[in-house]
Copies of this chain bind each other. A is one copy, B any other.
Amino acid sequence: MTMNKVAIIGVGHTKFGKIQDKGLMDLLCEASLTAIEDSNTNDKDFDSVYVGAMSPEILNKTAGVASALVDRISLIPAAADDIKNGPASGGSAIKAGFQAIASGMSELVLVVGGEKMTHITTPGYVTSTVATLTQPEAERPHGVSLPSFAGLLTRAYLEKYNAKLEWISDIAIKNHKNGALNPNAHFQKTIEDFMKIAIEKGRGSWDNIYEFLSDDKTNPIIADPLRLFHICPISDGAAALVLCNAEKAKQYNDMPIMISGVGQATDTHIVFEREEIITLKALKICSSQAYQMAKKTPKDIDVAELHDAFEILEAVQSEDIGFFKKGEGAKAAHEGLTEIGGKIPINPSGGLKARGHPLGATGVAQVIELYWQLRGEAGKRQVTSAETGITCNFGGFGNNIISILVERM
């Protein structure tokens, strides 16, 4: 049999950032209602709703978020499930929605990802919550957290490939530059902007951006050698997609975007057991699945949204997803190949670094950015004539990765 094809016919994206006047459910509702309105489905019945949120139980003292959402936005009796895969919960929710339609069980599906985190004020609480993804015997009791893994990975990468930390900084610089063009981004400032503000406020004086980024006060070390500006923020936000059987998509939308490849793969839970820490085996596998399903190769990709929770990850992912040879990702970023207008633009949205990272929302927001790029609706950050895009959404520390390939219909 051939599976039903699946198209995106509507999107909704809240502002990401420190959203003090809204709770998790408010954010999910806002993104969902925007997506439904955008889809022109009007009062058509939705069959299923999938919510990707990593930790509402801990961060928001609530469970059954999907069940509550369908009531709040009047989609009852639609089926509703919460899908969890750490910071890749959004990607997994999209995959669940994709399978609901591909199987023929659903025609019209709402997928929404979101997280509300910035209300947590206890120091370390959010990082500890995310660290519940680490291995409970071999890693967590030894104080390992996701930032510490990223620090180790950076050291290993710089040493093995004779790369420079400045090249990793270049990724942050690029992503902040892109984020400054994205009205939904958590940070709509370039790093130059941050430097100018610091100078104006008399916090110091620097000749150039690299000097500013080496200052222990303005850019403190978080997980050596990674500093604050190498790491994504803690954000609030939500993002939603309306998915539809592709055969019916044009009834609702003049220019639906097709989800033509979906891949997901796991790797060892214990990071030190991996053959090579610098290679994301799960990404190699899941992106291959997505390329194969869509009958594409990395060369066909015009734009990508990768999971730069730590800037080193964008470099490594850009290699393992097939854009650059092993060890050349950071250098490529340094040389500008991944900028908007470069050979393969990565994270025109600003990525997790600048758009922000409300865990469950990220995987959905990545696909929305590609939807806008492929429709030519990305405003000042538009990649010229983008027709095909791919994502990498990262669960745990690379032990469960999802890749979604979208293209124009």
Contacts and interface: CB of A to CB of B under 8 A. Distances in A.
Interface of A: 1-4, 48, 54-55, 57-58, 61-64, 66-68, 70-72, 75-86, 92, 95-96, 98-100, 102-105, 129, 132-133, 135-136, 262, 264-270, 281-282, 285-286, 395-396, 399-400
A396 B400 CA distance: 29
A3 B77 contact: no
Contacts of A2: 1, 104
Contacts of A64: 84-86, 132-133, 269, 395-396, 399-400
A264 to B, nearest CB: 4
A85 B77 contact: no
28 contacts: A1-B4, A2-B104, A55-B63, A57-B58, A58-B58, A61-B132, A63-B132, A64-B396, A66-B85, A67-B85, A67-B395, A67-B396, A68-B136, A68-B269, A71-B269, A71-B399, A76-B267, A77-B265, A77-B267, A78-B266, A79-B264, A80-B266, A80-B400, A81-B85, A98-B103, A98-B105, A103-B104, A105-B262
Given A132-B62, A282-B77, A104 B395 contact: no
B105 A266 contact: no
A106 to B, nearest CB: 9
Closest 4 A-B residue pairs measured CB to CB? A102-B103, A79-B264, A103-B103, A71-B269
B100 A68 contact: no
Contact of A55 (B1, B57, B66, B95): B57
Contact of A67 (B98, B100, B399): B399
Contacts of A395: 64, 67
A266 B83 contact: no
B132 A265 contact: no
Given A3-B103, A132-B64, A82 B84 contact: yes
Contact of A81 (B92, B132, B270, B281): B92
A270 B1 contact: no
B85 A84 contact: no
Contacts of A68: 135-136, 269
A290 to B, nearest CB: 12
Contacts of A136: 61-62, 68
